[in-house]
């Protein structure tokens, strides 16, 4: 596990360690089930164990680390129950966002959506999976802004972060970028046309794309999931 102990004066030590480990986990440089040593992290960052412990706690609250007394801390495996819960919340929130976006979309909103799709197509052409992941977040944030419900993105982002590792595995192993971008294009077109029903319909198909990824990964890497659920 390679760590880069560069502490920013504008952030606390806990923030720096948290953000670094969060990126390591979400980007799958640390895989589900990998062990993380509190002492090792503290040593490599040149700090005491307390800020590391606090960073670990924050990661555990985001369901990214599993901390157990007298046992090694490890990157949390996927939970089918938590995935189902996240899907339920996102379905409710994004349905309302798409309906509101379809109602409120104006020329400025349409331009933002067009720019978002253009950027995604460019990432596809260049094979930039990491860039697409960031652009995917930006697309959903743009929809929330158009819907005049920017606060909803905080919920979407929180729920989306819980399954991002699966999304990355799906993108890298199934090359799903063209399909996902086409979903975004259809959603954008429906929103621009003020067609809420179509926007919601495509949006729900888009959320359902993860099902195939879950089935594939659970079949090929069952150890990535909690044992009681596979």
The distance of Cα 162 from the centroid of its chain, to the nearest Å, equals 6
For residues 86 and 206, what is the distance between their CA atoms, to the nearest angstrom? 14
Over residues 122-147, the pLDDT tens digits come to 999 998 887 888 899 999 999 999 99
Q: What is the pLDDT of residue 77?
A: 92
Burial class of residue 78, CB neighbours in 10 A (0-12, 13-18, 19+)? buried
Over residues 177-224, the pLDDT tens digits come to 899 999 999 999 999 999 999 999 999 999 998 888 888 888 888 899
Burial class of residue 142, CB neighbours in 10 A (0-12, 13-18, 19+)? buried
For residues 120 and 134, what is the distance between their CA atoms, to the nearest angstrom? 10
For residues 23 and 2, what is the distance between their CA atoms, to the nearest angstrom? 12
Residue 78 is classified by DSSP as B
pLDDT at 172 over 90: no
Angle between helices 80-104 and 152-161 (to 10 degrees): 150
Strand partners, 225: 78
Q: What are 82's two structure tokens?
A: 């938590």
Instruction: Answer with the residue of higher pLDDT: 80 or 186.
Output: 186
Which single residue is written with the structure tokens 């503290």? 42
For residues 112 and 139, what is the distance between their CA atoms, to the nearest angstrom? 9
Q: Hey, what domains does the chain have and what are their CATH numbers?
A: 13-75 (1.10.10.10), 80-229 (1.20.120.530)
DSSP assignment of 83-97, as one string?
Answer: HHHHHHHHHHHHHHH
- Cβ atoms of residues 16 and 22 within 8 Å: no
Band the pLDDT of 70: cuts 50, 70, 90: confident
DSSP H helices, 66-209, are: 80-104, 107-125, 129-146, 152-161, 164-174, 177-192, 196-208
pTM (predicted TM-score): 0.78
């Amino acid at each position: 596990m390679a760590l880069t102990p560069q502490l920013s004066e504008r952030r606390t030590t806990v923030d720096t360690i948290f953000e670094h480990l969060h990126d390591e986990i979400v980007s799958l440089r640390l895989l589900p089930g990998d062990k993380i040593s509190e002492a090792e992290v503290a040593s490599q960052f040149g700090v005491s164990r307390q800020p590391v412990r606090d960073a670990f706690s924050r990661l555990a609250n985001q369901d990214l680390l599993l901390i157990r007394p007298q046992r090694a801390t490890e990157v949390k495996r996927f939970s089918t129950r938590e995935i189902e819960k996240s899907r339920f919340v996102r379905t409710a929130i994004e349905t309302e966002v798409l309906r509101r976006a379809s109602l409120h979309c104006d020329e400025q909103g349409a331009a933002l959506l067009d720019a978002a799709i253009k950027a995604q197509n460019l990432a596809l052409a260049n094979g930039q999976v990491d860039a697409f992941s960031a652009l995917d977040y930006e697309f959903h944030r743009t929809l929330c802004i158009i819907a005049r419900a920017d606060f909803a993105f905080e919920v979407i982002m929180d729920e989306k972060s819980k399954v991002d590792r699966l999304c990355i595995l799906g993108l890298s192993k199934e090359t799903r970028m063209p399909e996902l971008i086409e979903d975004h294009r259809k959603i954008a077109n429906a929103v621009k046309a003020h067609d809420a029903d179509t926007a919601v319909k495509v949006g729900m198909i888009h959320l359902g794309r993860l099902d195939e990824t879950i089935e594939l990964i659970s079949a090929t890497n069952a150890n990535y999931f909690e044992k009681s659920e596979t």
